[in-house]
Structures are given as C-alpha cells and as structure tokens.
Amino acid sequence: MFNWLLNYSKSDFDAGTLSFASSLSTWVLAGLFLLAALLLGVSLWLRRHHLGTGKTWTLWALQTLIAGLLLLMIWRPTLLVEAINPGENTVAVLLDTSASMQIESGSDSRLAEAIDLLDKALIPDLQESFTVKSGYFAETLKWSDDYSSATPNGQRSNISSTLLDVLDQARVDPLTAVVIATDGSDNSNAINNEFWDKLASYNVPVHTIGVGETQLANDTEVIAVDMPQVATPGSVQTARVSVQHGDQDSLRVKVYSGENIVAIKDKPLSRKAGQTTLEIDIDAADTGLQELRFEAEATSNDISPGNNSRKRLLQVAESNRKILYFEGEPRWEYKFIRRAVHKAPGISLVTILRTTPNKFYRQGIESPEQHANGFPATKAELYLYDAVIIGNVESVSLNGTQQKLLQDYVSERGGSLLMLAGNKALSDGGWQTSPVAATLPVELNKPTRPTFERLHAKASLAIAGTHSPITRFANEAPANEIQWAELPELADIQLTGDVKPGANVLLNASIGNEEVPLLTHQRYGAGNTYLLATSGTWRWQMQMPFEDQRHEIFWRQLLSSIAAGAPQQLQTKTDRQIYSDEKLIAVTTKLFDEEFNPLSNGIVEAVLTSPDGTETSTTLKASADEAGVYTAFVTAEQTGSWQIDFIARAQDGTELNSKTQWVYREDGTAEQYALAQNDTLLKRISATTNGNYVSIKNAGDIAETLRASRSGIVREQSLPLWNAPLFFLLLIGLKLFEWMLRLFWGRL
C-alpha cells in the first residue's frame, strides 16, 4: 500500500532526501500559498452572511488546503536517492548442495525448495538491477548458471571457506552482496574467531536464506560423547553421552566394542522432545585399543538413523605416574597408604619418611643418592613427579625456597598437591603463612587451639563426589552411596577454614549434627590441589573384613586421578579424534625440558601406522610463535584406526620422550549429523556482515532489500513525487468533502 500511494518503497524514503524540481524558490511557493489563502479568505468573508461564521471558516480551511496541495504539485516535489546502476553491480548467489540438503522439507527436498526459489523468483528479480553470478557448493564451490545439475551428494559442507573464497574475489571483482541458501550445516571445523574477523573485514553484506526446519521432532541423534581417550587397565571410565530425541517414553543407549555390547543404559523420558545426557561407565579391561560405538536406539519414525551413533577410541595402556609422598613421622596412615597402592598399576610411589630431624627413610627411590637430603630443593628433582603428597609435616620442615618451589610446582608445572591432616599439619603446622596456603582449596586460619582433633566422624559423599572417579565404589549412584554409608567411622578430623570460591567438596564428614569438608579440590594455576582432612582412613581397612578392598580402591583412585591430570614433558594433540570425510590431520606437540621450560631445539617425529600396517613418518616443524611447540599436517587416506607414535629427540639424536595417540578415519558420516537448520550460525553471519537473515518462506523481498541497501556502484537519481496517487486522492477527497458539506448545508 505504501509503495502504491507514493510510487516508491519506504526504504527509498528512509534513504532519500526530499526536494523540489521547480527552478523557483520555496519562498515563492510560501508567498503564493499565503496570497491564495488571503484571496480565498476575503472572497468567503464577503459572503459570510449567507453561510455563517463557522461554515465560512470550514470552507476556507478546505479550499486553502486544496490550493496549497495544487501549488505543492506545481513545484514538483522529488525524492533524491542513490540508486543502483543496473548491470554495474554483481551479486553472488550460492546454493548449498551438501548431503543434508536432501532431507525433505514439506513435500520436497530442501534442495528442490531452494532451487525453486532461486530459479523462479529470486534470480530473475535480482537480474533486473544486478549482474548475478550463481554457483553451488559442498566441499568446494562451482560457478554455474544452471542449477538443474545440482545434486545433494556433497559429503561435507564448507560454508566458512566458501564464503571467504567468494569474498576474497571481491578485492578484484566488485561485489555488492552475497546471497546464500543453505541449512547452515557446516562441518569444516573452521568456524572460529579468525573466521569471524576475516568475514567482517570484507565489508560485503551476506544475506542468508535458511532452508529446512530449525527443530526436527522425529530425529534421534547422538550429539556428543565426552570421555577420556586414555585409561589404565582395570579402570572404569565414565562417558557422558548427549542425545537429541523426539517425544518418546524412554531412551536406550548401547555401547559396542567391536561387535560386543559392553554397556547398556536406559533412561525414562517425559514424552517431551529435547536433549538428554546419560552417564555410562565403561570398563577398561585389557591393554590395547578399544573402538567404541555409542548407539541410541532409533524410533519407528526416525528420519535419519545414520546419526544415531558415534565412535570413540579408548587407548588402554600401562602408565607410570610418579608420586612423591613426604611424611613427618611413622604413622598408621602412612603405612596403609603405601600398602594400598603397592603394586597398583600405573602408580610409582616414592616416599620420604623423616625419622629424625636430619635423617630420612626413603622407599621406591631409583638410586641411593636420590632425596638423600629429604624433600627436593630443585625444579629438576621436584618436577619429575606428577603429584606430591605432604603428610604430617610442619611448614618449617621446608625452607622458604622449597615452599615457593612447591607453589610453583602446582601453578607453573601443573602438578597436583595433596595435603593430609595431622597434629603438625595444615594450620597446626604453620602452613597458613606459607606460599603453599594460596594453592589450597580451603582457608587456613591462625589457630587459637589445635585444629586436629580426635573426634569420631562419618564420611559421606558430597554432591560433587557423586560424579567423581575418586569416590566411586559402585557404578550406580544409589549403590555407591550405600557403600560409603557402610564404611566405619573415622577417629580424627582436622577443622579448616571456609572452602574457597571455585573449590569442590568431594567428601563430607559428619560430626554429630555438624557437617564439615573432608576431601576438597580446586584448580590452581596450571595444576590441582587436594586436601584430605583426616589421618584415619586406615580404619576403613582395619575395621572391615580382610577381603573388603574399599580402602585400597579409594587410595588407588585418589592417587591415580590426582596424578593423571599432570602435564608430561612431551604433550601431544590432534585437532580431533574422529575424522569424518576428512583426510588431513593437524598434529601438535609441546616439548619441555626437565624443569618444564619449553624446549625449542628438539626434533619431533610423527610415525603414522595405517589400518593395514603401512608406516609413514613426518618431522614436525618448530613454531615461530610459541616456544616448545611443534606442528605438522599428516594425511590419513584409509578408513579405520590410525596409530600415531610421537618421538622427541635431542639434536644429537638421543631420544628424550615418546608417546602414542590414536585417531579414527571414516567416510560418509559428516553430513548425517546436526540436520536441523542452524539458524544461529546463519543469523550471526548476516549480523557480522550487515546483511539479513530470512527463512526460505520469507525470502521474497531480498532483491528489494539489496536495491534499497545502496551497496555497490550507485548514482544519484531524482524520483518525481507530484504524480503520486496520494496527491490526487487528497485533491479528490478534499473537494468531495467540501461538496458534501455544501450539499448538507443546502448551500451549493
């Protein structure tokens, strides 16, 4: 209606400037208007005795408006706008032809619906004002004026790289805008901060047309599986499986190792479509590689059963995590900790027991000279360990340098520190004034009386402990709580200050009606710190049947967990574990010396072993931007599990360290996931480039939007307004209203 009344769109008026085409000044227009008003007023005033005063003024107002409207039209009002030069501006129209576009949208596929819009409406409309350059893409872009040959068979959708490639051409070929019709499924793994910065830098608007439904009610999809990649034999690993589902009664997830089912988890649902996360425990039994498949059972109307499963690799291998335990006196807790982890796989425990002020009894050492003087005094000695335990020791047992070294060990090296309770430990041992106090998960206050007390206390799981591998006796939560409730009471407790913000309480201790933290944890710098506020866990062994292993299980899980998170001298990483329809693997390593300083003059080699046993090797390149970092790209052609052995050497060829990592290659799966329209991505692309997002059902005005945007090569255009229907309708309306009034008054 707006366009019909005024000949032009509202966007033209918003962007344009009103003016007059007449060569005469607007002051002349104003003067003539006043003169006409005066003459009409005099004429009507002379006849006022026939009309009366009220009717005279009414007629004068109507006739003055008509005269003013006629004068306005004579002065030829115009709208000055910058208009797109037809044929001199290029718009790129891109169509997504990846496999996800074959999903039905209504009675047709997404691709057919998009082609129908582009061929029949959008492109012909754009060609009236622009040069249209059309093409379609999946993995790569192909320019073509004919979409009839486009088929939805692309195994990957690279929206990010396609847009950047097209926009890069704008540096040579002027480009007014880009229009892209897609469901927003991008599996290039290149949507990052660098992409958004580059996209904005081109200053070319990208208008996105969202194809497909934003929610798929009849699709069960395993969205993600979060679990460790490495485990020790005999351990239990928890996988968090996120599943998108429809409105069904229940959900069942099976875990396969090869063709064998190793776990099943059922979860009732509330018949409401949405996302559900399940925790599934996986037994890491024997040494070797486990190829796991997490599969959610499909419903009868599932539109894409191919996305009901995801693969993960679990490398079960012996590890040798080194832990240093410094104890101030022979006590039961010391003896039972050593007994609990004796011969435990993956744990190498070195203990330093102070027998007299200057003598130490050492166990687990590699040479007679090692730690002969007690606690380590250098980085090279201390940083050798993945975790450190401090027992019933006063802070003055370590000099100022050693205390600062212990703080740096946690914050810089990334090691784990476990502080134990005792009558000479924590606040009772003066640790509140030590640099180590800053690392601890609780406040250590200056005591007015001993904080270590002989009190009976009952251990129980805290909320954070219900999900922790440290405190797991049984896989199911109810059974685990029962097992904790069955443990004997502790005979001592150390009362600390408040738990620090950000710290987690894993275990509580009940003393009568009071509950205090028993096992707490927090991140500190690059590492972790733990505090166990008792020295009486040995009672869990002594007051339980000999065959009960819960004391041993607790300490093995505690020490394994705190040591497992510590960085190693050779750290390796691939950009992901599962490569879907992608052969290029980015590998990165970080190499450190014995004091965990970055080592930039080493040689790092990656040896790839394919599924058929073929070996290839690649030397990683030292990064110029970050010391100690080495990177490379390697190619994995075959599908299946690939072994990557990283070997770090010194310049003289001496091997410094080595590590093995596994990745999995598969084809034909990338486009099976995230099938709903990703309108969030499309809206951000448009917002970043000052473009517009529309769904395919509302895409009819894109051409008009582009013309109104004045982006590209433009010229100033004068659009006449005097002949707009609105002016003629006003003239006819005002005169007709005057005539009807005269007819009503009987004074024609």
Task: For residues 355-364, give the mean pLDDT.
Answer: 91
| Sequence-separated (6 or more) residues with CB below 8 Å from residue 436 | 390, 395, 403, 406, 407, 417, 419
Question: Of 211-220, 234-243, 382-391, 719-728, which has the strongest mean pLDDT?
Answer: 382-391
pLDDT at 15: 65
Q: Are 77 and 722 in contact (CB under 8 A)?
A: yes
Amino acid found at 665: R
Q: How far apart are CA 32 and CA 25, in angstroms?
A: 11
Q: Where are the domains of the chain?
A: 2-83+717-745, 90-214+676-711, 221-316, 322-564, 570-671
pTM (2 decimals)? 0.77
Distance in angstroms (rounded) separating the CA atoms of residues 263 and 106: 38
CATH number of 221-316: 2.60.40.10
Which pair of structure tokens corresponds to residue 248? 């069904």
Please name every residue paired with 132 in a beta bridge, in sequence order, or none if there are none. Answer: 91
Which amino acid type is present at position 456?
H
* Mean pLDDT of all residues in 18-43: 79
Residue 358 binned pLDDT confidence (cut-offs 50, 70, 90):
confident
Nearest to 232, CA basis, from 341, 394, 89:
341
- Of the pLDDT bands very low, low, confident and very high (cuts 50, 70, 90), residue 107 is confident
Q: How many helices (H) and strands (E) does the chain have?
A: 18, 39
Q: Using CB atoms within 10 Å of the CB of residue 716, give its burial: 0 to 12 exposed, 13 to 18 middle, 19+ buried.
A: exposed
CATH superfamily of 90-214+676-711: von Willebrand factor, type A domain (3.40.50.410)
Q: Is the pLDDT of residue 117 over 60?
A: yes
State pLDDT tens for residues 402-441: 999 999 999 999 999 999 999 999 999 999 999 999 999 9
Confidence class for position 465, pLDDT limits 50, 70, 90: very high
322-564 maps to CATH 3.40.190.80: no
List pLDDT tens digits, range 499-521.
999 999 999 999 988 999 999 99
237 pLDDT band (50/70/90 cuts)?
confident
**Sign of the CA dihedral running 455, 458, 463, 464:** positive
The encoded tokens of residue 300 equal 């009868």
For residues 582 and 578, give the distance between their C-alpha atoms in angstroms, rounded to a whole number: 9
pLDDT of 80: 66
Checking if the pLDDT of 558 tops 70, the result is yes
Indicate the pLDDT class of residue 82, thresholds 50, 70 and 90: low
pLDDT score of 49 more than 60: yes
The reported pLDDT for the residue numbered 54 is 77
Q: What is the pLDDT of residue 74?
A: 82
DSSP 653: S
Domain 322-564 matches domain 570-671 at the CATH topology level = no
CA angle 273, 278, 283 (to 5 degrees): 155
Q: Does pLDDT of 83 surpass 60?
A: no
Which residues lie below 8 Å from residue 448, measured CB to CB, with a gap of 6+?
A: none
The predicted pLDDT at position 447 comes to: 87
| Tens-digit pLDDT profile for residues 567-587 | 999 999 998 999 999 999 999
Q: Residue 270: what pLDDT? A: 83
For residue 487, is pLDDT > 90? yes
In one letter, which amino acid is 669? T
Alpha carbon separation from 455 to 328, 418, 483, 538 (Å, rounded): 22, 22, 22, 15
Asked if residue 675 has pLDDT above 60, the reply is yes
143 to 96, 132, 155: CA distances (angstroms): 12, 11, 19
**Annotation: CATH topology of 570-671:** Immunoglobulin-like (2.60.40)
| Three-state SS at 597 | coil
Which residues is 321 bridged to in the sheet? Answer: 347
Rounded CA separation 51/735 (Å): 18
Check residue 46 and give its pLDDT. 74
